[in-house]
Each structure stands twice: as structure tokens, then as C-alpha cells.
């Protein structure tokens, strides 16, 4: 903020309040966008453009998966479930 102190000293109280309000809003938005993502969200983003090959589509009926494997987000996406 040091370089801006001189500029802000020449501003009216109303203008300073506008600048401070803007900075608060920007910080709140940055906080929302940089919140830690869950593993599920990270996996979903990573695999959202993945194309399922015909070979994998044919395997769907042949695989025997446990309940835990069926609930795995990556497995569900890869198998197109």
C-alpha cells in the first residue's frame, strides 16, 4: 500500500471509502475462488474432458467391481456410470 498512500491522501473521504469497498469485495471473491477443493472436485475437473474408448464401454458388463469401487468417482467416470 505504500505507493498508494500519497494518492489516497489527495482523495476525498468518499473516494477512499469507494476504494476500500472495492478492495474488500475483490478480497472476498479471491477467497471464494481459492478455497481448497475436495478430492472429488479435483478429480471431476481433471477427467471432465476424458473420452471413453469403445473398448472400455464394452468392458462395463464384464467387470466385477466391489461396492467401494463402484462409488469411486474416477471409476464411475471412466465407466460412464
pLDDT confidence of residue 1? 58
Q: Which domain holds residue 43?
A: 39-78
Residues in the chain: 81
Domain identity same for 44 and 72: yes
Number of domains in the chain: 2
Taking residues 59-80, what's their average pLDDT? 76
Domain identity same for 47 and 71: yes
Domain identity same for 68 and 49: yes
Helix, strand or coil, per DSSP, at residue 72? coil
Per-residue model confidence as pLDDT tens digits over 10-54? 888 898 888 889 888 888 887 777 667 788 888 888 877 777 677
With bands split at pLDDT 50, 70 and 90, how would you rate the model's confidence at 57? Answer: low
CA distance 52 to 79: 7
Cβ atoms of 44 and 73 closer than 8 Å: yes
pLDDT confidence of residue 35? 66
Domain identity same for 22 and 45: no
Amino acid at each position: 500500500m505504500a505507493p498508494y498512500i500519497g494518492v489516497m491522501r489527495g482523495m476525498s473521504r468518499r473516494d477512499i471509502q469507494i476504494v476500500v469497498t472495492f478492495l474488500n469485495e475483490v478480497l472476498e471473491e479471491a477467497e471464494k475462488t481459492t478455497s481448497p477443493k475436495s478430492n472429488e472436485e479435483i478429480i471431476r475437473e481433471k477427467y471432465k474432458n476424458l473420452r471413453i474408448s469403445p473398448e472400455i464401454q464394452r468392458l462395463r458388463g464384464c467387470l466385477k467391481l466391489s461396492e467401494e469401487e463402484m462409488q469411486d468417482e474416477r471409476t464411475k467416470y471412466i465407466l460412464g456410470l
